[in-house]
Structure 1
Amino acid sequence: MFTLSLIGIGSGNPKHLTLQAIDALNACDVILIPSKGAGKDDLAGLRHEICAQVLRSDGPDIHEFTLPKRDAANPDYHAGVHDWHDAIAQVWLAEMQRTLPQGGRVGFLVWGDPSLYDSTLRIAERLQKVVTLTVDVVPGITSLQVLTAGHAIPLNTIGNPVTITTGRQLRDHGWPQDVDTIAVMLDGTCAFEVLRQHSDVHIWWTAYAGMPNERRIAGPLDQVCDRIIATRAEARAAHGWIMDIYLLRR
């Protein structure tokens, strides 16, 4: 029997951890840290750094494991993601059984918050079908909150809704109906380019939100679009990976 603690850790800044998250980390028997391979070592490194700062001397063991890669060549995006999550669930289960053969509490440090464009809860759902498993969730600060705080802007305009979407949805379907503000996550291709001809759109862009190398650019989209694209490419080349998020408002 296992308890799975999915602990939101914010977006890379150890100071983003809540007191609840610190307690939850110390209550674990084992903490599993995924490694995404060469070029993304600093993601695992940040998790190790957080553990080093907040775990007690008698705290849980820490084990690193290799995370399966998604088949990006699969033309059916949803089927590819589904297969990828199945593979991750199998690896999670193997690591849990290997490190805690008698069962216990396993902790995962979840980037941002487990509720927002994150797959850990869906993977945990798969595990609950094959093993006795209780899931505990500890909320964390999201990159969306870090974005708006860094630019010192509100998320919404007065009395109006906000749509949170992905770069793929923005590129394929354009501006969502009946909203003046959209937050865009998981954009690997600078989808905001499809709106660059609109002079009434303002963008607030942040990369590596909350980290020491955080970068921010804001302004009318038609004026700063090329600057964001160039900065993004430069940052990705320098670090081998990038996570960014942006808010668009008419």
Structure 2
Amino acid sequence: MTEPVMVRILGVGMGPQHVTPEVAAALRGVDYVLAADKGGDGDDDGLLRLRREILAAHPGPDGPVEIITVPDPPRNRETGLTATGYEGAVADWHQARAQRYAQVLRERGGTAAFLVWGDPSLYDSTIRVMERVRDLGVALDFEVLPGISAPQLLAARHRIVLHEVGRPVHITTGRRLQEAVAAGLDNIVAMLNPPPERLDLTGLDDWTLWWGANLGAAGERLVAGRLGEVRDAVVQARAAAKAEAGWVMDLFLVRKN
């Protein structure tokens, strides 16, 4: 009977300094790391380079763990997609990823790991993709270890609490921000944000904004203040973060005063 492949889904925050001792110990026990390569012309993308830095900083007994790159399948990123169209595009993308990962896992077996930015529980698809890999017939088991999430870093960098005393915080995506506002929510963390020109901030000029990009990594930028007054500063800071690092991930908290 073939032994099932073991996959470790490891939250790594935003770099080597955020890797917990638990995750570092798990890395020492894997045979290889699987990673999507979103670069072109044979060059690593910026986040793949950062993964290599994590492996170099936390080597196994024989040195840094081998990283197996898998070209990332394209995703439909049309700006005019409906909610249903967007969800369908993401589902197709996840299925294409699962098929590529399944091929590698079948061929190599052993114990593999995925290094997940932030924490695997929050706006990450790795768990869902592994479930799809299993549905494709790969004998697979997986475990999940937590990491430092982007909202945690945002709160720490701005020295704030994500919610008022006894109040909730709502976490959503940039494309669904106005949906949350319309529902009466007034303390919102938005992640997976589109570029500023495609982010709808209508009616929020008097809200307070705490914004950050590339937190804990190259290109880190922070902006805070009345949203209507700092909107241009966010645009400039986001562009600067991308120019410095070659990539950008940003998020923000907005709160009604």
Q: TM-score by structure 1 length?
A: 0.90
Q: Does 1:143 find its partner at 2:150?
A: yes
Which residues in structure 2 correspond to 1:179-194 (within 5 Å)? 179-190=185-196, 191=199, 193-194=201-202
Distance 1:91 1:150 in 2: 37
- Equivalent pair of 2:13/2:147 in contact (CA under 8 Å): yes
- Shift of residue 178 of structure 1? 4.5
The residue type equivalent to 1:162 in the other structure is V
After superposition, what is the alpha-carbon deviation per residue over 1:35-77, rounded to whole angstroms, capped at 9, x for unaligned? 1114972200010011011112425432222111212138311
Task: Give 1:34's aligned residue.
Answer: 36
Q: Does 1:177 find its partner at 2:186?
A: no
Which residues in structure 2 correspond to 1:207-226 (within 5 Å)? 207-226=213-232
- Equivalent pair of 2:102/2:133 in contact (CA under 8 Å): yes
Task: Give 1:79's aligned residue.
Answer: 88
Q: Does 1:47 find its partner at 2:51?
A: yes
Identity %: 39
- In the superposition, relative to structure 1, how do residues 23 and 109 fare at CA in structure 2: closer, same or farther (>3 Å)? same
Which residues in structure 2 correspond to 1:115-154 (within 5 Å)? 115-129=121-135, 130-154=137-161
Q: Which moved more, 1:65-74 or 1:216-225?
A: 65-74
Number of residues paired by the alignment? 243
Equivalent position SS for 1:193 = coil
Distance 2:57 2:249 in 1: 23
- Shift of residue 239 of structure 1? 4.1
Q: TM-score by structure 2 length?
A: 0.88
- Shift of residue 231 of structure 1? 2.2
Task: Give 1:67's aligned residue.
Answer: 72
Distance 2:18 2:245 in 1: 22
- Equivalent pair of 2:189/2:253 in contact (CA under 8 Å): yes
Q: Does 1:91 find its partner at 2:94?
A: no
| Unaligned ranges ≥5, structure 1 | none
| Unaligned ranges ≥5, structure 2 | none
Equivalent position SS for 1:161 = coil
Q: Does 1:157 find its partner at 2:159?
A: no
After superposition, what is the alpha-carbon deviation per residue over 1:2-28, rounded to whole angstroms, capped at 9, x for unaligned? 1111000002x3111111100111111
Select 1:6's aligned residue among 2, 6, 9: 9
- In the superposition, relative to structure 1, how do residues 131 and 47 fare at CA in structure 2: closer, same or farther (>3 Å)? same
Distance 1:43 1:202 in 2: 30
Equivalent position SS for 2:168 = coil
- Equivalent pair of 1:28/1:105 in contact (CA under 8 Å): yes
Q: Does 1:20 find its partner at 2:22?
A: yes
- CA RMSD after TM alignment: 1.9
Distance 2:146 2:194 in 1: 26
The residue type equivalent to 1:131 in the other structure is V
The residue type equivalent to 1:79 in the other structure is G
Equivalent position SS for 1:204 = strand
Q: Does 1:242 find its partner at 2:244?
A: no
